[in-house]
Chain A
């Protein structure tokens, strides 16, 4: 067989084929990704382009988060976001402890210790919100650590977008899905949305 020189014609072909298929995988994944999906990233990872470039899907932040509010992305979140960390406030609330930033080996998260980081903005779902549909609930107002939710004249919660950093306490505490039944989705009466996608 081909002896000493370790670069052989076959090797070049194999390498070229593998590189070509890698570019194909990258291209397809890139094409499938499409528009910004408005995923909620850990605090300090809101620059999606930087996050996408650096996250190597090692699963450390998900398992390190003491609040357990990070889930692992699934295919439905997009091929590129598969296995990446996504905030899930049904599981926990972000307290900006910064541990996700500490454990991240790839520098994907910057400034997670700072509650001034905006993970997203809480948005009241007026159809699902108990206070808006029936009245008599102010759980989110009481639970918000930043005083970002106030009651309007009719005792319905309204989010002060300037104060909200998307920590998820309101979404986590919202009892709407426990008291009311809705068809489709797991949204609650108040949900954190990616900043710029509040609508």
Chain B
């Protein structure tokens, strides 16, 4: 564990997310190549069973002004899935965060706290980067800034290795927090018998989007269903970035396979790029899929990031908020209810004390 810690490695979660995203594309291509009909993320599946897009299912019911049994059953299936994995779709399957990263690679500086959902990976990305460049950060914090130094007496063996590590958030933050905490200075901490005494002193950080959220996305969700009902067809599907991404891939396939050039190859990418570049806060402010999934994920109690409070630096009086800074959804894994969590694992990797893990239950 500590060895992994020392290597400036790429994020394992990010690698895993990348593979899952590629697997989705590979599934779609394989479905077309071998005619097995797995479909696209709108409804991945085999034979009668498929993970129907929950928004699509509701839209079609609104459009047809009737409830059909098959889509309804599939919707229930997907609702159960979402209850189990929460908003994992957003971080693991949705192509939008990747497109945003690709078309808006510029980190938007050390902007004010929080960005928006996956939309502004800047902060989280910066956090991770500074971790990856761990040693540099550590040198900086050791030489010029006191950083989050913890007296050895206060750290448990597990955190011992982490302690010497870049404590990371960034040199700038270390300066800002002044290294030694006024409320609970390392010396005070050393004096106290255990970490517990200090734990009370630091207030919870809290994420901007902790708890049940109802925001503009949900207005868009209502608009999506209303427009489907009014016009009699799923309007949002025409502009859905997930659908358009895979429609572009299908267009490419048809170009190669049937020598069939189409407007899809020009228009879909333009719409897509407009959505990820102009509507920068798509995920957290607009996306009706995110809205619906987040409503359903209020039921989610599994696979949540959990913080071991005894290991967390905050229990030792260090005002560390690496996890909250890293979270693309602006959540605090310390909070009890974070239905917006997309299980991306960034907090797990950002935690200097390795106190966070994604728990199957609890």
Q: Contact string, A1-18, partner B, CB cutoff 8 A, digits 1/0?
A: 101001110111111101
CB-based contact B262/A22 at 8 Å: no
> A104: shortest Cβ distance to chain B, in Å?
8
CB-based contact A22/B227 at 8 Å: yes
CB-based contact A61/B57 at 8 Å: no
CB-based contact A107/B68 at 8 Å: yes
Judged by a CB distance under 8 angstroms, whether A180 is at the interface is: no
- The residue in chain A whose Cβ has the minimal distance to the Cβ of B262 is A74
Stretch from B156-164, B181-189, B228-236 contacting the other chain: B228-236
Judged by a CB distance under 8 angstroms, whether B146 is at the interface is: no
- Tell me, in angstroms, the Cα distance from A99 to B254 when the chains sit together: 21
Judged by a CB distance under 8 angstroms, whether B202 is at the interface is: no
Judged by a CB distance under 8 angstroms, whether A144 is at the interface is: no
- Chain A residues, CB < 8 A from B38: 60, 63
CB-based contact A103/B48 at 8 Å: yes
- Tell me, in angstroms, the Cα distance from A18 to B37 when the chains sit together: 33
Judged by a CB distance under 8 angstroms, whether A161 is at the interface is: no
Q: Which residue from B39, B65, B214, B222 sits with its C-beta under 8 Å from A60?
A: B39
CB-based contact A61/B215 at 8 Å: no
CB-based contact A25/B37 at 8 Å: no
Q: Among residues 75 to 126 in chain A, which have CB atoms less than 8 Å away from a CB atom of chain B? A: 75-76, 79-80, 82-83, 99, 102-108
> A98: shortest Cβ distance to chain B, in Å?
11
- Chain B residues, CB < 8 A from A102: 47-48
CB-based contact B232/A53 at 8 Å: yes
Q: Which residue from B53, B230, B234 sits with its C-beta under 8 Å from A23?
A: B230
Q: Among residues 6 to 55 in chain A, which have CB atoms less than 8 Å away from a CB atom of chain B? A: 6-8, 10-16, 18-19, 22-23, 25-27, 29-30, 49-50, 52-55
- Chain A residues, CB < 8 A from B219: 11-12, 14-16, 18-19
- Chain B residues, CB < 8 A from A61: 37
Stretch from B91-99, B124-132, B242-250, B319-327 contacting the other chain: B242-250
In the complex, given contacts A26-B231, A53-B64, A55-B60, what are 16 additional A-B residue pairs having Cβ atoms less than 8 angstroms apart? Answer: A7-B214, A18-B220, A22-B223, A23-B227, A52-B233, A53-B232, A57-B243, A60-B38, A60-B40, A63-B38, A80-B233, A83-B250, A83-B264, A102-B47, A105-B39, A105-B56
Residues of B with Cβ closer than 8 Å to A? 28, 31-32, 35-40, 42-43, 45, 47-48, 50, 52-53, 56-57, 59-60, 63-65, 68-71, 74, 112, 114, 208-209, 213-220, 222-224, 226-228, 230-239, 243, 246-247, 250, 254, 258, 260, 262-264, 267, 281, 285-286
Residues of A with Cβ closer than 8 Å to B? 1, 3, 6-8, 10-16, 18-19, 22-23, 25-27, 29-30, 49-50, 52-66, 68, 71-72, 74-76, 79-80, 82-83, 99, 102-108
